[in-house]
Amino acid sequence: MPRVLSSNLGYPRLGEQREWKKTLESYWSGKTDKETFQATMKELRLDHLRKQQQAGIDLIPVGDFSYYDHVLDTAVTFGLVPARFGYTGGEVTLEQYFGIARGTKDAAAGAMVKWFNTNYHYIVPELNGLTPQLTENRVLKLYLEAKKELGIEGKPVLVGPYTFLKLSRGYESNELAAWLDKLVPLYAQVIKELNEAGASWIQIDEPSLALDVSAEEWELVHQAYTKLNEASGTSNLIVQTYFEGVDGFGKLIDLPVQGIGLDFVYGLEQNLNSLDDWGFPEDKVIGVGLIDGRNIWRSNLEEKLGLINVIAQTVSRDRILLQPSCSLQLVPVTTKHETALEPVLRDALAFADEKLGELALLTRAANAGGAAVQEELEHSRKAVSSLASSAWRTAQEPHTDHSATRNVPFEERRSIHEQKWQLPVLPTTTIGSFPQTVEVRRARRLWRTGEWTQQQYEQFIENEIREWIDIQEELGIDVLVHGEFERTDMVEFFGEQLDGFAFTKNGWVQSYGSRCVKPPVIYGNVSFVQPMTVKETKFAQSLTSKPVKGMLTGPVTILNWSFVRDDIARSQVSYQIARAISDEILALEAAGIEMIQVDEPALREGLPLKRSKWQEYLEWAVGSFRLSTAAVKETTQIHTHMCYSEFHDIIDAIKAMDADVISIETSRSHGELISSFEVHGYDKGIGLGVYDIHSPRVPAKEEIVQLIERALRVLDPKLFWINPDCGLKTRQHPETVAALKLMVEAAHDIRRQLGQEVEVNA
C-alpha cells in the first residue's frame, strides 16, 4: 500500500524550561560570552531536532529555529538592514542582528507587528530603497548541521518571497513586482545551494496566499515560483499556506512546485470544498494540516482519520503528508510538567510534543489501519470524551442576541455625567496601571510562596495604593486609578478568579524576542464567583474626593489572549465572559464606584484575516462588550481602552460599543488617527494617548501641547480627555511622575488657551 508520511512545519524555540529565553537574556546582560551563547543555542537546536526524530516524524523542519524572529532572519539573510544601524554589507553580525531587534543607543529598534492574527510578534522588515544581497545561506548551514550532527535529512524552511514582502514596509504597492524581481534570484540561489547539498524537500511558507490576493499578484507569484522551481533541480518545493482557506485555490495548485500545504483546521470547510471542486494535480503532494497548531487540545483522532480518508479519495496516499495546521511555535512545548492540573483536564491537553505524537499515531493508523494502534486511539478517545462530558462543560443555552444596550442614549448620559462629575474641560487621567517595581514583584512572590500572610500582602498593596493616590493628587490628575499592584497580568488576574479557567505551570509561548506569556486555559463554562476588584478600588476611593475608576479587562481581550475551549463557538465563550464581567461591574457600582473602565486592547487584533468574515466577528465582539456594560445605571460612566491599528477600518464598530469614553494608544501614529477622525468623525468621549509609554523617554511639554492642539482641530474639547497612550506598568517611578507632571501642565496650558479656569494645586 502507498505510504502516507508525517511532516512537521516548525517547533517551539523556548525549550521545556525556557532555556532559550534564559540563554538570550544571559547573553544580553553580558553574563554569557558569544561563543558560549552560540554553543548553548546549538545544543538547544539539536535537542529540538532529536525530539522530532524520536517522535517518528518523517520530514523534520530545519531553519525554523531562530535567535529572535524568523522574519528578521529572512531580512538579514538578504542584507535588508535599515541604514540607521550602520550596516555596509556582508554577513550581518550578531550585534547588528540584535540591534535591529532591540534597538541601540543610537538607533531605534525595528517595529513589531502581530504575526497575522496570532499573539506572536515579528520584526517588520524596512526596505526603503535598500538593495538586497545574499549575505549568507543560513538555512543551508542548519540543514548541513542537522545532517552532520544527527544524521537527519531535514526539510529546510523559508519565509516565501510574496509573504515576506507583504509583511514588509518601505515600498509602494505598485513596486511589488520590482521587489520580487530583486528578491527571487536571491531565493533561487539559496534553493540551488540546498539542492546541491542534497535537500529532498524545501518548505516555503506563504501564509499570505490564504488572504486576499489579486489576480495580478497571483500572476506575479506564478512567475516567481517558475523561477524558483527552475533553480530547485531535484529538490521538491512545497508551498505552505496556513491560518485560513485559500480563495485562489485553482491558482495555488497550478503553481510550478511539487507540493502544496493546506490548513484543514482553520480552513477546513473552504479547503475541502475547493478540493472537491478543483481536484488536485496528480504530479503534486498535498500537505494536510490536520493537527491544530494554534490551540492546546487533543485531537479527535477518529475524526482526523475520517478526514484523511476523504482526502485520499482525491489524492493518492503516496502523495499525502500529514502535518500540523501551522508551525507548533504557537503552542507550549510539553504537558509532562503539568502535574498540578486536574487529571481529566491534563489528559485532554496536547502541547507541541504531544501533537507530534498525534501526527505519528495518525500516520501509523493511515498506513497500517486503525487496528494497529487501537489502544492508543482508545486512550485518546477517552481523554477527549471525559472532558467533553464533564460537569465543567454542561451545556448552556447559546447566546445569540447582539443587541444589549444602555437604557439611556449617549447624549443624555453625557449631560447626566457632566452634572454628576463636574470635571474640568480636558480632564486628565491614566490608563490604569502604575509601575510594577522590584518591590511589588517581590511582595507578590513572598505571598505566593507562603512567606507572607494574606494580611501582610494586603497591607503592602494598600500602602502602594495610598502612595500613588497621593502622587496623582499632587500632580493634579482629575480622574484617578488605584494602580493595579495586585495584578500580574490583565488577563491572568481575572482568569484566576473566574470559574472555567485553569493555569499551567510551563505553558509558555513566545510573544516576541525573549518575552514569553503563559496564556490562561479556558476549559469549561465561564462564570462569576465573587467580586474581584471591589476591595482595592473601594479602598482607593476612600482616600480621595476625586473619582477613582474601576479597572477591568473586557471579554474579547480575555478571550483573545487565552487558549480557548474548541467544542463551542468562540462567540459563546466571549458571551460567557461578558456576563461574568457584567456581574463584576454591578458589584463595583454597588460599592459606589460609578466610573468604570473595561479595556479591550485585543478587540481589533482578533479580526479574522479575511474582510469577508469581519462583520460576523464584530457583531459578537461588540455585542460582548455591550453585554458586559449595558446593565449599569445612567449615572455610571463606562470607559474603555484600545490599542491603535488602522482605526478607520472599524470606527463604526467602535462607535457601536457605546462606551462613554474611549482611550486609544496613538502616540506613535497620532497624525494618522486624527486624519481618520477628520474623515469619519467621532461623537463620544475620547482620549488620544498624548505620550508614548513604551519608551523611558520623558516627552517635552511642547510635544504634548502640539498633539492636543492637533486633536482639537477635529474633536470637541468637551469630549476630549488627556491621558498617556497605555498603562504605566513597565515604566520606572521617576520617569512616570515626570511625564505625568508634564501631561497635566500641558492640559492646563490648553485650558487657558480655551479660556477655562485652571485649579493649581498648592
Annotated binding site for L-homocysteine: 431-433, 484, 599
- Would you list which residues are annotated within the binding site for 5-methyltetrahydropteroyltri-L-glutamate? 18-21, 114, 515-516, 561, 605
| Degrees, nearest 5: CA angle 680-686-690 | 105
Q: Which residues contact 535 (CB under 8 A, 6 or more apart)?
A: none
- Produce one character per residue of 459-491: b if its CB has 16 or more CB atoms within 10 Å, e if not: ebbbebbbebbebbeebbbbbbbbbbbbbbbbb
CA–chain centroid gap for 419, Å, is 41
Of 41, 12, 46, which is closest to residue 26 (Cα–Cα)?
A: 41
Residue with cell 454542561: 394
CB 308 within 8 A of CB 471: no
Residue 367 burial class via C-beta count within 10 angstroms: exposed 0-12, middle 13-18, buried 19 and up: middle
Instruction: Give, in order, the Cα–Cα distances in Å from 72 to each of 21, 82, 130.
Output: 17, 12, 15
Of 177, 179, 236, which is closest to residue 5 (Cα–Cα)?
A: 236
DSSP classification of residue 349: B
DSSP classification of residue 103: -
Rounded Cα gap, residues 303 and 216, in angstroms:
38
DSSP H stretches of helix in 608-700: 614-629, 651-656, 670-680
Q: Cα-Cα-Cα-Cα dihedral of 415, 416, 417, 418, to 10°?
A: 50
Report the SS3 class of residue 505: coil
Rounded Cα gap, residues 556 and 435, in angstroms:
25
Q: What are phi and psi of 296, to 5 degrees?
A: -120, 20
CB 275 within 8 A of CB 303: no
- Would you list which residues are annotated within the binding site? 18-21, 114, 431-433, 484, 515-516, 561, 599, 605, 641, 643, 665, 726
Q: What are phi and psi of 546, to 5 degrees?
A: -80, 155
| Degrees, nearest 5: CA angle 717-718-721 | 75
Q: What is the Cα gyration radius of the chain?
A: 27
Rounded Cα gap, residues 307 and 294, in angstroms:
19
Q: Which residues contact 547 (CB under 8 A, 6 or more apart)?
A: 421, 479, 480, 541, 594, 595
Exactly one of 48, 670, 680, 694 is catalytic; which is it?
694
CB 322 within 8 A of CB 260: no
Rounded Cα gap, residues 112 and 731, in angstroms:
19
Give the amino acid at 63. Answer: G
DSSP H stretches of helix in 657-717: 670-680, 701-712
Q: Which H/E stretch holds residue 195? A: helix 176-197
Known catalytic membership, residue 222 = no
Rounded Cα gap, residues 101 and 110, in angstroms:
6
Rounded Cα gap, residues 358 and 353, in angstroms:
9
Rounded Cα gap, residues 457 and 550, in angstroms:
21
Instruction: Give, in order, the Cα–Cα distances in Å from 366 to each of 61, 259, 267.
Output: 22, 20, 22
Report the SS3 class of residue 257: coil
Rounded Cα gap, residues 607 and 588, in angstroms:
30
DSSP H stretches of helix in 348-424: 352-368, 374-388, 410-421
The DSSP result for 551-590, as a single string, is EEE-HHHHHHTSEE-SSS-HHHHHHHHHHHHHHHHHHHHH
Catalytic residue list: 694
